[in-house]
Each structure stands twice: as structure tokens, then as C-alpha cells.
Amino acid sequence: MMIDKAPASIRAIWLCLAVSCLVLAGCEEQIPAEAPVRPVISMVVGDVESFRSETYPGRATATQEINVSFEVSGKMIERRANTGDQVKSGDVLAVLESDRFEARVRRLKAEKSAAQGQLVNAENQLKRQEELLSQGFATQARVDRNKAALRTARGKVNALQAAIENAEIDLSHTTVTAPFDGTVSETFAENFQNVVAKQRILRLLDTSQIEMVVSVPEDKIGLARHVTKILVSFKTLPGVEILAKIKEISNEASLTTRTYPVTIVMDQPQGAEIKPGMAGEAKGFVQLPDEWIQKGIEIPASALFSPDDTKTSQVFVWVINEAESTVKRRQIQVVATSKRGMLIKGVKPKERIVTAGVSFLSDGQKIRILSK
């Protein structure tokens, strides 16, 4: 080769260059790869202002809704309520032809009367046979047969009484009444139409109060129990704000949206009417109690983790440094398990923590907050 024929000094220079390249190549392999920037979902602890500034959409529904139907089948001869009618609790809404139901009650009562006569006769027969037995003129077998006949007669009377009660109940079901004050929103059957049991006749709504279901994000549901006031507005009622209150908070989040359904209820406003189906928006106002931190701060259970290199009793969260977009591990104390998360100590109000993806992070790692 040409290098072999070169002077010793040249060969030394080539050797140094080769060694340098090998060293540089080795150094490049030893440079650790930089940790990727991880996108995370987060929450601000006790973010009262964010809760207040957001609006929560929903759709108005009646507090009570029912499809009115008969419990028995027959021909409807009278429907006394039409769409839009206001009715009171106990008002008759519809009536079935009752002739065959009345006839059944009369027939069963007649059969019971005859059976009661047979029962009296069986009682008298048994009494006579027992007297004859005591005098030695009858056998025990005959007395036993009379006792069996008496039990049969008594059972028949009892069965007919039960049948009469059922028949009277069926007769009462030929008339349906309003179970509460409300408005007829829709009708489904007409006069002289044959209807079957449980078939819808009309729909009744109680709109004296209105309910609305709103979806509260997982990172804010812990503040819902501290809501002191709710104001609801509807686009169809401009300038009108209705005071509402929480009726129910679900303990189960939606698997797709990770939000909790919260049902709120409100009275009808004066001078206006909220109709079922209207789209509205709710805004909540939160007041945290003074001992809130001492009792424990509620966060989603997904924010907690316990690394393999720690004791299982130690639990941590990732606290976000928003200025540097990094995370730092912090040990916390679990106070209790709540219905919708965990009550903890160890974080402060207005600190931002990671609520999803905690298993893929490391101390000092760069992160990107997906939503604030």
C-alpha cells in the first residue's frame, strides 16, 4: 500500500488521525439520548377561578316525565286530555269501556255467595257428625271426610274473594288519572281505539321545576361539592338568569370524555317559561372552606403513582414547573378515598399536577401540557 511506502513521519500522522476518528466515534455512541417531550393532561389544584369562568352546557328536561297507559286492555271510550292541557294530580285522563270488567265482578260475587252457602252447609254437617261420633253413632272416618269437605269449601270461598279483589282492581284500572300536576306534551291514542295494557296513551310532564345535566371535567369535579351558587341562562330567554342548585353528582365518569354528569334543578322564572329541550348554559361559583387543605384536597386517582424503587406505602404525584415545562416527583399523603377520586395532602392550591400519563415520566423531564 502507499502508506507502507511513506516515510515514518507520515505514517505516524496517519496513525494519529485513525485513532482520533475511532475515539470520536466511541464518544458519539456514549452520548445519552435526550428524553422525549411528553404530552400530559394536568389540573390546577383548587382552581376556583377556572371553575367559575367556564360554562357548562346542557339541555332542559322536566323534573318528572311519564308515559300514561292503562294497566288492562280494552276500548278507550274517552280521552279527556289533549296536547298542551294543564292537569292536576288526580284528574281523570282517559277511560276504557268497563262493561265486561263490571260483569266479571258481579259473576264472581255471585259465585262467592253460592260458595259461602256450601261452606255453611259443610260446617253444619261436620258439627252433626262430631255429635254423632260422641254418641257412638258415627265413625271417625266419616268425621274426617266432613273436615276435608269443610276445608275445601273454605278454600273455595277464599279463592273467590281473592278473584273478586283482582277483578275490582282491573275495574279500577279502566280509568287513569294524573299522578302529578303537569302538562300533556303528546297524545298517542284516540277515542274508540282498542288499546292493550301498557300501551302509551299520552305523555305527561311536570315542568314546575326544570332539570339539566351538565358534564364537569374530571379535574374540576372535586370542587362541585363546594359550589355555593349556580346561574343558568338560555339563549331563547335573553337577559334571564335562573338560580339553580345541584341535585345529584354522578360517581362514575364517562369513559370517552372523562367528565362527570351533574344534575342541577331550578324553578321556573317569573315572567318566562323554560320548556323541555331548551339548550342552556350553567355557571358555578365555588367557595372553599377554611379547613379545606387540612381535610384533604380531592384529585383524580389517575394522578397518583408508586414507583417500583419505593416502598408500596409511598405515593407520589408529578408537580409541573410551568415556567420550565418540566415535572418533579413529590411524595404525598392519602387521607381518604372519595367517591370520585382521592383526598390527599402534600400539594398546595394553584399548583399544577399531572393527571394522566404518570407512568411515563421521570424527574426533570420536559413535558407539554395538552390543555389548561
pLDDT at 123: 96
Q: Which SS3 state, helix, strand or coil, does residue 208 take?
A: strand
Question: Does the structure show a pLDDT above 50 at 21?
Answer: no
Question: Does the structure show a pLDDT above 90 at 143?
Answer: yes
- What is the dihedral sign for C-alpha 77, 83, 87, 90? positive
Residue 136, by phi and psi: left (phi above 0), alpha (psi -120 to 50) or beta? left
In tens, the pLDDT along 273-331 reads: 999 999 999 999 988 877 777 778 888 888 998 876 555 678 999 999 989 999 999 99
In tens, the pLDDT along 54-82 reads: 899 999 999 999 999 999 999 999 999 99
Can you read off the three cell numbers belonging to residue 159? 279463592
Cα separations in angstroms, 90 against 169, 175, 204, 207? 17, 11, 13, 17
Q: Let me know the angle formed at the C-alpha of 304 by 301 and 308, rounded to the nearest 5 degrees.
A: 135
pLDDT at 9: 53
In tens, the pLDDT along 79-106 reads: 999 999 999 999 999 999 999 999 999 9
pLDDT at 209: 94
Segment 172-195 shows an average pLDDT of: 96
Question: Residue 8 — pLDDT band, cuts 50, 70, 90?
Answer: low
Cα Rg of the chain, angstroms:
40
Helix (H) / strand (E) element for 79: namely strand 74-79
CATH class of residue range 99-172? mainly alpha
Q: Let me know the angle formed at the C-alpha of 260 by 275 and 216, rounded to the nearest 5 degrees.
A: 70
Question: Does the structure show a pLDDT above 50 at 2?
Answer: no
Give the Cα separation of 90 and 70 in Å (integer). 15
CB-based contacts of 256, cutoff 8 Å, min separation 6: none
Segment 166-182 shows an average pLDDT of: 97
Burial class (CB in 10 A: 0-12, 13-18, 19+), 256: exposed
Question: Does the structure show a pLDDT above 60 at 120?
Answer: yes
pTM: 0.68
39-45+293-369 topology per CATH: 2.40.420
Give the Cα separation of 44 and 271 in Å (integer). 40
DSSP 366: B
Question: Residue 130 — pLDDT band, cuts 50, 70, 90?
Answer: very high
Note the Cα 360 to chain centre separation in Å: 33
Q: Do domains 39-45+293-369 and 49-62+206-292 have the same CATH topology?
A: no
List beta partners, residue 244: 230, 266
Provide the 10 A C-beta neighbour count for residue 291: 8
pLDDT at 139: 93
CATH class of residue range 49-62+206-292? mainly beta
Every domain of the chain and the residues it spans = 39-45+293-369, 49-62+206-292, 99-172
Question: Does the structure show a pLDDT above 90 at 29?
Answer: no
Helix (H) / strand (E) element for 242: namely strand 241-249
pLDDT at 1: 45
Helix (H) / strand (E) element for 162: namely helix 140-172
Give the Cα separation of 264 and 251 in Å (integer). 15
Can you read off the three cell numbers belonging to residue 212? 339539566
CB-based contacts of 145, cutoff 8 Å, min separation 6: none
